[in-house]
Amino acid sequence: MNIPSFFKRAILAAGLVAAAAASAQDIKVGYNGDLSASPSAQSGQAAVLGMEAAIADINAAGGVLGKKLQLVTRDDTSAPPKSIQNMSELIDSEKVSAVFGPTNSGNAMAWKHIANQKKIPVIGNVSSGTDITKPMSAGADNFMFRVSMVDREQVAALMAYVKKNVDKSKVVGLMAETTGYGQGGLKDMEEIAKLQDIKVAATEKFGVGDTDMTSQLSKMKSAGVDTVVVWAQGTPIAQLVRSMEKINYFPLVLTSWAADNITFYDAAGKTLAEKPIFMRTVSETKTPAQQKLYDRVGAKLKAPGSFSFALHGYDSILLYAAAAKQANSFDGNAVRLALEDLKTPVQGVLKTYDKPFSKTNHEAVTAKDLVWIRWKDGKLLPYSDPIVGSLTTADFKQ
C-alpha cells in the first residue's frame, strides 16, 4: 500500500520531534581545553577520547538517572580569553551540568571563578597546576576537582627521591622555565626543598623558547651541582639536555612529567631522551583494563604517550556519574557535595577511587599513585632503583 506523501511527511516530522524531545532529555557535559594549537593539544585530544569512551559505556548501560550523557567540546586554542569565553558559552548557552579540562593550567586559573560563582562542578583531567583546585577563599565551597597529575604531588616525590639519594645527590640545583607553569613548579620545588631540609646550591631560569641553556648550566657546574630538578614543558627540557651535551655536563636530571611528551623525545633524540627521570600515572606496561581502553582509542591518539590522559578522561566521567547517582540529581551543588563524600568506591581504569575527595581535598591522584618513568628505546617504561623501591607515603612531604 502506498502511503500518501502528506502522511510520509507527517510521520517524518513526528520522528524528528520525538528525536528532538529525546535529545532534550540528555545531560550535557562540556570539555573546554586546547584541542589544536599547542603541543599539549594532543593531551586534550586524548582526554576527550577517553571521555567519549566512558560516555558511550555509561549510555549503553542505561545512562545516569535514566538520562544519557552528551559531550560538548570547545577548543580554547591555548588562549585564556578564548577559554573564558568557552566557559561562559558552555554554562550559559549549552547549559552543561559539569565541565572537564582544561588542557593548560593557566586557563583553569583564568576561569575557575566562573565555575565557583555559577556552581558548576569542574573535573580537571589534564592540567596539573597546584593552585587549580584550591578554593577561591578559605572555607569557601569549591567546585574545582581533578583526576590527573598535580605539580606539587610530583615535586613531593622528586624531592623525596633527592632526600634519600644521599650518596649521589650531594649538591642540588633547581631550574625552571619562566612561564606560569615553570614558576609555579619552582615555587613548589623551593617550598618542598625546605620541608625536606634540602639545601639548594643554585637556581636558574630559562625562556620557554630558548634553545641554548649552556650559560645557566655552566653556573650549575661551577657550583658543583650533581642533581638538577627541572620544571618545564617538553621541548624546553629537550633543549636543556641538548645543552648539557654541548658542555659535557650530565648531572642526575629529575623533571616534570612534561618529559613524557613526544615533543620532548623528538627534540632530544633517542639517546638524550633517556637522561631524565620523571613520573606519570601510567607506563607502557598496562593493566588488562588499561589495555582494553587503549585498544579502543589507541589508533586515534596523536602520540602513544598521551594515553594517560585518555585514562584520566575516562575515569573523570565515571566519578561524575557516580556523584550524580549518589546525589540523585544533576544540580551542581548536589554533585559537588556528593563528590566530596562518595559513599561507594568507583572502579576506574587508572585505579579504584575510594573516597578520592573530601571537603578540603579535591585531588583524586596523589604521589603514591604515580609511576616512575624513563624513556628507553623510544618507549615510556617503568623506572626503578633502590631509592625508588624504598620510598613510602611518609617520605612525600608537602
pLDDT in tens, 91-111: 999 999 999 999 988 899 999
Cβ count within 10 A of residue 43? 32
| Tens digits of residue pLDDT in 6-50 | 445 544 554 544 444 445 589 999 999 999 987 788 899 999 999
* Domains of the chain: residue spans and CATH: 23-149+285-365 (3.40.50.2300), 152-280+371-395 (3.40.50.2300)
Number of H helices, E strands in the chain: 14, 14
Question: Residue 106 to residues 14, 78, 166, 287: CA-CA distances in angstroms?
Answer: 47, 9, 35, 32
Strand partners of residue 376: 379
As a whole number of angstroms, the distance between CA 71 and CA 278 comes to 33
pLDDT surpassing 60 at residue 208 = yes
Average pLDDT over residues 235-257: 97
Cα(78)–Cα(63) distance, integer angstroms: 32
Is-contact 85 111, C-beta < 8 A?
no
For residue 337, give the C-alpha cell. Answer: 557535595
In 3-state terms, the chain is what percent helix, strand and coil (to 5)?
A: 50, 15, 35
**Residue 64 and residue 325 in contact, taking contact as beta carbons nearer than 8 Å:** yes
pLDDT (0 to 100) of residue 244: 98
pLDDT band at 134 (very low <50, low <70, confident <90, very high): very high
Structure confidence by residue, pLDDT tens digits, 64-84? 999 999 999 999 999 999 999
Task: Convert the pLDDT of each residue in 294-318 to its tens digit.
Answer: 999 999 998 878 899 999 999 999 9
> pLDDT for 228-241, tens place per residue?
999 999 999 999 99
On the 0-12 / 13-18 / 19+ scale of CB atoms within 10 A, 122 is buried
Residue 277: band (very low, low, confident or very high) from pLDDT cuts 50, 70, 90: very high
- 383 within 8 A of 277, measured Cβ to Cβ: yes
Query: Could you tell me the pTM of the whole model?
Result: 0.87
> For the ranges 11-25, 63-77, 126-140, 338-352, which has the lowest average pLDDT?
11-25
Residue 174 has pLDDT above 50, yes or no: yes
CA 166 to chain centre: 31
User: What are the cell numbers at 209?
Assistant: 623558547
Is residue 4 very low, low, confident or very high in pLDDT (cuts 50, 70, 90)? low
The predicted structure's pLDDT at residue 15: 52
What type of residue is 333? N
Q: Is the dihedral of CA 99, 102, 105, 106 positive or negative?
A: negative
Rg (CA), the chain: 23
**CB-based contacts of 395-398 (< 8 A; 24+ apart in sequence):** 395/160, 395/163, 395/164, 396/153, 396/156, 396/157, 396/160, 396/366, 396/367, 396/368, 397/156, 397/159, 397/160, 397/192, 397/195, 397/196, 398/152, 398/153, 398/155, 398/156, 398/188, 398/192, 398/195
